């Protein structure tokens, strides 16, 4: 075989384009929000195209050329080997997408195809020539990518005709969209907003209209938030960018209102205008390229090893920096909220204050006080948003505890916002709308976010509270509302004229009363009868049983053995050490605790290796001689023999300096009394 250097380069160039550039471009076309959120322009796109097309073939070509210089007989085999490697890389993602292929099999199959590819490549000259033509495919991929309508609108800022209200309006409008907040999480045992845990939500409800039966219409954040902003059901071919939503809350108020916008994930607000404030979370080009690299690594990594990479998620940002990613993300959300409040002003005309805060959405890091605790990764259970919670009862309880604690902090953030509006003197005259994009479920055997038969109300039922200008009396409505009703309602109350049709109806009249089905676009549009979604009682009763409510608060004392919390270790006769091995990660965090620095070392997690398989073992955590938490182990999603355990300590349990942390296995003595055995 005697291919010229240029021919060899063309081979590698062609195969790299299929292995790297094609899947990356395809991913970016499917999720143009990624580029929108990063504020990517034409130059960024060019950089991404160059980096995905050029470096890899040149590096491989240099490697084989060097090998050929050292020993000419090596050149042919090395080239064939690299052709095989790239062929394997091309076939890995499709094999990885086959769910039922276990662990290493996708990699083995890809290697098999790679070896076959190398052999065929050596044997058949016609294939080598064909591959030369493949080199022309690379620019073609780039062209298809750049000509995609969504990509063009984002990167080359093609002008979009926006739909603005023809009528003037001087009503200040405040629209607050929380994230991953099910209505039921706010309720006490009497199905009212829990005034002890969430005083600010309850206070707001006391002089606004609470639509208790409100549901979301999508499943992903981008779709759900877009539907709130534009009043239309989500559609797969519409992305969370302005061009796909020419009429939305921002465009509608653009002529009549100043804009004060916190929009971290979607990009529905029009271009910047002098005097308006947009908090869009700026991202540098370096960060864009790094995040693109993470997408690529995810695409090309076999599924079994993907957990080690930063996860791709709908925030579409800051994928890199995996160990600290979630701590940073949690902090940034609150910083953005505070920056937004600090810069709120009264302008010469009415203002639209629109906030999408990605809270109380995880990562769960906040105590109700606003102080943070640390943990490695997002969640010790690894229960992903779309993974099923099976055999993980304790992981569900622990997650729900952290969700409710974070929600209590979100309540105080809401209090800060309402105070700020009062300070500015616009609260009374303002139209204020509180809602959330979607919920989150805590049901055994269901997904956290995906819709199942047993988690509908938690996943779909989201708060909707509307305070009309001057409203001082609260009331509750059981109209079957949907989040698409928010925009037409705002338009009617604020006197704005809709220029294009919407799917929702204004809640001012009685139009929603005739609704008999609700729609939700989880995977494909699903319709529900109103009855299926209305009963709150069971879930509220379940939550009450788990964690009580504000009047009987058991957020720190829950689950079996929770009656041990608060007792001193010396009250117990201790059993002998067990052969069950309990590992606590980062145990040295307790050697020198600084109460003034955050995050606090309050989250405990590790592995438990029991004798006799993965049976459930109960643990008591003692800090400085007192039991402060009880917990249990749970299986991991990979179903390995090791099990995981986790527990959260209240911040008040820590003291400055050295803390004595001990873990005990809870067993029973001969009389059936509970007994603690040090592990
Ligand atoms: Zn969301």
CA–centroid distance, residue 386 to ligand 1 (Å): 13
CA–centroid distance, residue 358 to ligand 1 (Å): 7
Alpha helices in 232-389, H assignment, sequence order: 249-252, 285-300, 325-342
Determine whether 347 is exposed, middle or buried from the number of CB atoms within 10 Å of its CB (0-12, 13-18, 19+). middle
Which among 512, 545, 578 is the end of a domain? 545
Residue pair 325/309 in contact (Cβ under 8 Å)? The answer is no
CA–centroid distance, residue 220 to ligand 1 (Å): 6
What is the three-class DSSP state of 432?
Answer: strand
In-domain check, residue 131: yes
CA–centroid distance, residue 444 to ligand 1 (Å): 21
For the record, the structure tokens of 354 come out as 């629109």
In-domain check, residue 414: yes
Please check whether residues 426 and 514 belong to one and the same domain.
yes
Residue 570 sits in which domain range? 562-678
Q: What is the pLDDT of residue 451?
A: 86
From residue 235, how far is each of 29, 312, 481, 523 by CA, in Å?
A: 16, 22, 19, 10
Please check whether residues 578 and 473 belong to one and the same domain.
no
Q: SS3 letters for 28-40? A: HHHCCHHHHHCCC
In-domain check, residue 12: yes
For the record, the structure tokens of 609 come out as 């290796």
CA–centroid distance, residue 91 to ligand 1 (Å): 33
Residue pair 86/100 in contact (Cβ under 8 Å)? The answer is no
Please check whether residues 507 and 615 belong to one and the same domain.
no
Q: Closest Cα partner for 245 from 259, 258, 235, 255?
A: 235
Residue 163 CB coordination number (10 Å): 18
CA–centroid distance, residue 588 to ligand 1 (Å): 35
Strand 643-648 and strand 603-609: the pairing is antiparallel
CA–centroid distance, residue 342 to ligand 1 (Å): 24
String of DSSP letters for 228-262: HHH-S---TT--SBGGG-SSSHHHHTTTTSEEEEE
Query: What is the four-CA torsion angle of 37, 42, 46, 49, rounded to 10 degrees?
Result: 50
CA–centroid distance, residue 365 to ligand 1 (Å): 17
User: What's the structural domain count of the chain?
Assistant: 3
**8-state DSSP, 637:** T
CA–centroid distance, residue 521 to ligand 1 (Å): 14
CA–centroid distance, residue 36 to ligand 1 (Å): 17
CA 118/CA 86 separation, integer angstroms: 10
Please check whether residues 638 and 584 belong to one and the same domain.
yes
Residue 118 CB coordination number (10 Å): 21
CA–centroid distance, residue 248 to ligand 1 (Å): 19
Which among 545, 574, 598 is the end of a domain? 545
Q: Closest Cα partner for 483 from 501, 466, 500?
A: 466
CA–centroid distance, residue 329 to ligand 1 (Å): 14
In-domain check, residue 228: yes
- Which residues are paired to 436 by β-bridges? 178
CA–centroid distance, residue 153 to ligand 1 (Å): 24
CA–centroid distance, residue 357 to ligand 1 (Å): 9
Please check whether residues 209 and 108 belong to one and the same domain.
no
Which among 513, 545, 577 is the end of a domain? 545
What CATH number does the domain containing 468 carry? 3.40.720.10
CA–centroid distance, residue 124 to ligand 1 (Å): 53
Give the residue ranges of the chain where pLDDT is below 50.
1, 311, 314
Please check whether residues 186 and 110 belong to one and the same domain.
no
In-domain check, residue 332: yes
Q: Closest Cα partner for 494 from 420, 434, 432?
A: 432
Distance of CA 503 to the CA centre of its chain: 27
CA–centroid distance, residue 221 to ligand 1 (Å): 4
In-domain check, residue 302: no
What CATH number does the domain containing 631 carry? 2.60.40
CA–centroid distance, residue 1 to ligand 1 (Å): 56
Residue with tokens 């606090």: 600
Q: What is the pLDDT of residue 317?
A: 56
Q: Return the percent helix, strand and coil in the chain, to nearest 5.
A: 40, 20, 40
CA–centroid distance, residue 314 to ligand 1 (Å): 8
Please check whether residues 106 and 206 belong to one and the same domain.
no
CA–centroid distance, residue 234 to ligand 1 (Å): 14
CA–centroid distance, residue 553 to ligand 1 (Å): 27
Please check whether residues 571 and 426 belong to one and the same domain.
no
CA–centroid distance, residue 439 to ligand 1 (Å): 8
Q: Closest Cα partner for 562 from 627, 626, 499, 498?
A: 627
The pLDDT > 70 percentage for the chain reads 91
In-domain check, residue 467: yes
Please check whether residues 458 and 600 belong to one and the same domain.
no
Please check whether residues 40 and 115 belong to one and the same domain.
yes
CA–centroid distance, residue 543 to ligand 1 (Å): 22
CA 296/CA 28 separation, integer angstroms: 10
CA–centroid distance, residue 335 to ligand 1 (Å): 18
Please check whether residues 450 and 482 belong to one and the same domain.
yes
String of DSSP letters for 523-544: SEEEEEEHHHH---HHHHHHHH
Alpha helices in 170-274, H assignment, sequence order: 199-205, 221-230, 249-252
Please check whether residues 526 and 396 belong to one and the same domain.
yes
CA–centroid distance, residue 16 to ligand 1 (Å): 36
For the record, the structure tokens of 259 come out as 């804009």
In-domain check, residue 523: yes
CA–centroid distance, residue 180 to ligand 1 (Å): 5
CA 76/CA 61 separation, integer angstroms: 12
- In tens, the pLDDT along 143-174 reads 888 888 878 877 765 556 677 888 889 999 99
Torsions phi, psi for 187 (to 5 deg): -95, 145
Q: What is the pLDDT of residue 274?
A: 85
Q: Closest Cα partner for 188 from 179, 177, 204, 201?
A: 201
Q: What is the pLDDT of residue 386?
A: 55
């Amino acid at each position: 075989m005697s291919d010229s250097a240029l021919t060899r380069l063309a081979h590698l160039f062609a195969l790299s384009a299929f292995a790297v550039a094609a899947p990356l471009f395809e991913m970016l076309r499917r999720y143009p929000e990624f580029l929108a959120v990063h504020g990517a322009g034409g130059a960024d796109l060019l950089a991404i195209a160059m980096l995905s097309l050029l470096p890899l073939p040149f590096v491989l070509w240099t490697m084989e050329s060097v090998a050929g210089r050292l020993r000419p007989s090596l050149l042919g085999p090395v080239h064939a080997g690299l052709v095989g490697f790239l062929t394997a890389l091309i076939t890995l993602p499709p094999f990885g997408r086959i769910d039922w292929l276990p662990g290493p099999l996708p990699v083995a199959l890809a290697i098999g195809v790679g070896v076959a590819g190398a052999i065929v490549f050596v044997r058949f000259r016609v294939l080598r020539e064909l591959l030369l033509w493949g080199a022309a495919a690379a620019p073609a991929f780039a062209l298809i990518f750049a000509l995609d309508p969504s990509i063009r609108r984002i990167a080359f800022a093609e002008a979009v005709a926006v739909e603005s209200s023809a009528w003037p309006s001087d009503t200040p409008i405040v629209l607050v969209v929380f994230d991953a907040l099910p209505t039921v999480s706010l309720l006490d045992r009497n199905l009212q907003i829990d005034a002890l845990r969430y005083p600010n939500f309850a206070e707001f409800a006391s002089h606004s209209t609470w639509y208790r039966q409100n549901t979301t219409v999508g499943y992903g954040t981008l779709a759900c938030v877009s539907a709130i902003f534009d009043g239309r059901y989500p559609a797969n071919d519409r992305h969370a960018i302005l061009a796909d939503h020419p009429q939305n809350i921002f465009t509608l108020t653009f002529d009549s209102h100043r804009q004060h916008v916190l929009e971290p994930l979607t990009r529905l607000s029009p271009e910047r205008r002098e005097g308006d404030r947009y908090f869009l979370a700026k991202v540098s080009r370096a960060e864009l390229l790094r995040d693109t690299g993470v997408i690529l690594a995810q695409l090309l990594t076999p599924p079994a090893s993907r957990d080690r990479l930063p996860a791709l998620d709908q925030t579409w940002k800051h994928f890199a920096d995996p160990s600290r990613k979630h701590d940073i993300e949690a902090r940034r959300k609150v910083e953005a909220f505070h920056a937004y409040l600090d810069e709120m002003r009264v302008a010469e005309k009415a203002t639209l204050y629109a906030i999408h805060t990605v809270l109380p959405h995880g990562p769960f890091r906040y105590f109700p006080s606003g102080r943070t605790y640390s943990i490695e990764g997002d969640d010790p259970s690894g229960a992903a948003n779309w993974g099923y919670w099976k055999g993980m009862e304790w992981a569900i309880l622990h997650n729900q505890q952290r969700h409710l604690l974070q929600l209590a902090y979100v309540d105080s953030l809401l209090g800060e916002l309402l105070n700020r509006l009062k300070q500015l003197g616009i609260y009374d005259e303002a139209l204020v709308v509180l809602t959330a994009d979607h919920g989150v479920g805590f049901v055994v055997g269901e997904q956290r976010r995906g819709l199942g038969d047993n988690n509908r109300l938690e996943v779909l039922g989201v708060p909707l509270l509307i305070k009309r200008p001057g409203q001082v009396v609260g009331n509750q409505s059981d109209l079957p509302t949907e989040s698409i009703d928010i925009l037409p309602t705002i338009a009617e109350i604020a006197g704005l004229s809709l220029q294009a049709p919407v799917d929702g109806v204004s809640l001012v009249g009685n139009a929603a009363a005739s609704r008999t089905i609700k729609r939700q676009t989880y995977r494909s549009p699903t319709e529900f009868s109103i009855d299926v979604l209305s009963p709150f009682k069971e879930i509220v009763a379940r939550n009450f049983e788990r964690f009580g409510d504000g009047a009987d608060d058991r957020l720190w004392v829950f689950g079996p053995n929770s009656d041990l919390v608060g007792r001193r270790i010396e009250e117990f006769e201790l059993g002998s050490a067990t052969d069950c091995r309990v590992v606590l990660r980062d145990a040295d965090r307790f050697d020198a605790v600084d109460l003034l620095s955050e995050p606090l070392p309050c989250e405990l997690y590790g592995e438990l290796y029991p004798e006799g398989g993965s049976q459930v073992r109960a643990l008591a955590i003692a800090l400085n001689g007192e039991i402060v938490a009880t917990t249990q182990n749970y299986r991991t999603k990979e179903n390995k023999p090791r099990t995981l355990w986790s527990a959260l300590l209240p911040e008040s349990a820590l003291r400055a300096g050295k803390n004595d942390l001990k873990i005990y296995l809870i067993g029973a003595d001969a009389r059936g009394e509970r007994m603690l055995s040090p592990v």
